Amino acid sequence: ANSDAAAGSSKVRSILKKRHAVKMETAEEESKNNKTTSSSSSPQPPEPKKSKSHHKRKSSSSSNANASSSSSSSSNQIRCLHILKKHSGSRNPYSWRYKKKQVMIQLSKKGAIGELKELLEILAQSNTSAEDLRATFEELARTESDCSSARKGGDLGYFGKGAMQPAFEKACYVLKPGKMSGVVVTDSGVHVILRLA
């Protein structure tokens, strides 16, 4: 069983590497084309806003909720992994995945949903056990998610109500532990969520 999982993981990694290389080349080419068509006096795109997490609420109450979420789990807190796909209409349309952080994401919302559905298909194929699903989800999050939580396999840690954007929070709390969402739309982009606890 472990050799099958390793072979499947290797295949996923290979597919993702090819897909990622093509996307990065396309994004860099689009960026070059945009620079050559704009005049030299046009303003540079704004610096990406530095926020700890793109899915959290904008209010200051989230910092209090987040501070309590870093402690151990309590009965009203949950833990989720997520993969975020940003698009040109996202509230912060920049991603760590682009070599040049100043490259604004040009992908449409429809395109972001399409990419997320491709990832959902890969995840559905690895949904043979909870361990396989989580391992594949974390691997995909590390390479495909536009959220900084990608470094941790998409792990958001424990959080309580009021810490996340309402649509994201609702989707998380509806899921039972071990279950995965479909496409969830927020101001940050489109997500797929795997609830752990």
Q: How far is CA 56 from the centre of its chain?
A: 13
Buried b (16+ CB within 10 A) or exposed e, 119-141: bbebbeebeeeeebbbbbbbbbb
Is 147 catalytic? The answer is yes
Catalytic residue (choose from 147, 149, 172, 181): 147
Is 20 catalytic? The answer is no
Both tokens assigned to 173: 């709390």
Can you tell me the distance from the alpha carbon of 162 to that of 86, in angstroms, rounded to the nearest whole number?
Answer: 22
Is 14 catalytic? The answer is no
Catalytic residue (choose from 62, 90, 95, 165): 165
Is 191 catalytic? The answer is yes
Catalytic residue (choose from 80, 82, 90, 149): 82
Catalytic residue (choose from 54, 55, 87, 191): 191
Asked if residues 69 and 159 have their Cβ atoms less than 8 Å apart, the reply is yes
Asked if residues 49 and 92 have their Cβ atoms less than 8 Å apart, the reply is yes
Is 95 catalytic? The answer is no
Residues annotated as catalytic (active site), given as ranges: 82, 147, 165, 188, 191
